[in-house]
Structure 1
């Protein structure tokens, strides 16, 4: 199958991107509006873009109406600050629920019952239960289209749970159980390896499907339901 990218709608291109760039790490982003209202959103178009100083990027699509800018973007644009919190299995349900489109006047920490923790140099709260968080200052905004933007942020402070910070500045990644995105679904990292793998190990996984944790059919996808939208937001039942 060869698909002409220029012939695709935004929705069709989004489906192909999220179904083939995976697993995608989730930036669970907390922000504050100019009025001081806290917002939370999971952003899976997220990666590191620099080391000195350390920088990350977020790619932000519009809300599910296809035209309105997300609160995450407007808050970062207006205040110049945000926090990226790590999404892990214990918080998986809250991560998903924070993808709903709440009114800008609603504090999503309060609505979702998520604990706040203070940051050191930005006014935005971080998520108390997140094992790792980055305090970020807006570095630049790169417009992609009228409603899509890439945000670069400079990391000012790393918050790392004490038991995860090992000798020589290494993080105990095996203790994190990070949650990632697979198309419109989630996955968590439960294995690790170095190469080369033995022939037996390679043969054992060849042709196998991912194991589902939710009891749904092997070919289920939220993309085939009315709850999905090509914005990364989650619609209500």
Structure 2
């Protein structure tokens, strides 16, 4: 199958991207509006882009109407600050609920029932339960294409790391983190690790084997047609 993305609309290309680039790390972004209303949103177009200074990027699309800019982007653009909170398994459902498109005057920490913690050097609060938070200031914002999308580059001013996760020589105990990532319509738990080469017997036993499920649904299930999938339909 060869597909020319220029013959498809944005939604069709989006489906191919999110089904091919996986698992994607989730930036659970907290911001403050100019009116000091706290906002939370999960962003899975997210990666590290620099080391000195440490730099991350997040890409933001409009709301589900395809036109209105997301509160996360507006707040970042207007205040120049944001926090990236790392999501682990304990926080997965709260993170998913924060994808709901709340009104701009709603404090999403309060709506979801999450406790705020004060950041060290930026104004937006961080998620207190998050194991790692990165306090960022905007380095630059780049508009992408003609669909109202933007890439935000942020310099990490402070890392806030739960003490037991910080190891000798400045490492993170990734084995204890229980980080989750985004697939296409679902999430995945990071729960195994390996180095190469992998034993041939293991490779053979896993060849074409489908992933396991933690939620009890049958193999092949997808929430893509349910209200719990999209940002605009995430149930509370």
Q: What's the TM-score bracket when you normalise by the shorter of the two chains?
A: over 0.9
* Pair 1:215 & 2:213 matched: no
Q: Which residue in 2 is equivalent to 1:136?
A: 136
Range with bigger deviation, 203-212 or 12-21 = 203-212
Q: Which residue in 2 is equivalent to 1:183?
A: 184
CA distance in 1, matches of 2:69, 2:57: 17
CA distance in 1, matches of 2:19, 2:83: 27
Q: Aligned-pair distance for 1:147?
A: 1.1
Please list every run of at least 4 consecutive aligned residues from structure 1 whose deviation after the TM superposition is greater than 2 angstroms: 222-229
Q: Aligned-pair distance for 1:228?
A: 4.2
CA distance in 1, matches of 2:35, 2:121: 19
Q: Which residue in 1 is equivalent to 2:149?
A: 148
Residue 99 of structure 2 contacts residue 234 of structure 2 at CA under 8 Å; is this kept in 1? Answer: no
Q: Which residue in 2 is equivalent to 1:3?
A: 3
* Pair 1:12 & 2:16 matched: no
TM-score by length of 1: 0.96
CA distance in 2, matches of 1:146, 1:210: 34
Q: SS where residue 6 of structure 1 aligns? A: helix
Q: Aligned-pair distance for 1:173?
A: 0.4
Residue 96 of structure 2 contacts residue 234 of structure 2 at CA under 8 Å; is this kept in 1? Answer: no
Range with bigger deviation, 14-23 or 139-148 = 139-148
Q: Aligned-pair distance for 1:104?
A: 0.6
Q: Is there any run of 5+ residues in structure 1 with no aligned partner, and where?
A: none
Q: Which residue in 2 is equivalent to 1:198?
A: 199
CA distance in 1, matches of 2:147, 2:225: 27
CA distance in 1, matches of 2:96, 2:158: 26
CA distance in 2, matches of 1:226, 1:96: 12
CA distance in 2, matches of 1:24, 1:227: 19
CA distance in 2, matches of 1:186, 1:228: 11
Q: SS where residue 13 of structure 2 aligns? A: helix
Q: Which residue in 1 is equivalent to 2:233?
A: 235
Residue 116 of structure 2 contacts residue 127 of structure 2 at CA under 8 Å; is this kept in 1? Answer: yes
Residue 25 of structure 2 contacts residue 181 of structure 2 at CA under 8 Å; is this kept in 1? Answer: yes
CA distance in 1, matches of 2:196, 2:91: 31
1:1-237 alignment runs, 5 A limit: 1-144=1-144, 145-225=146-226, 227-229=228-230, 233-236=231-234
* Cα offsets for 1:119-171 (capped at 9, x unmatched): 11101100000000000000100001351000000000000111111111111
CA distance in 1, matches of 2:61, 2:118: 28
Aligned length: 234
Q: SS where residue 224 of structure 2 aligns? A: helix
TM-score by length of 2: 0.96
CA distance in 2, matches of 1:9, 1:146: 10
Q: SS where residue 143 of structure 1 aligns? A: strand
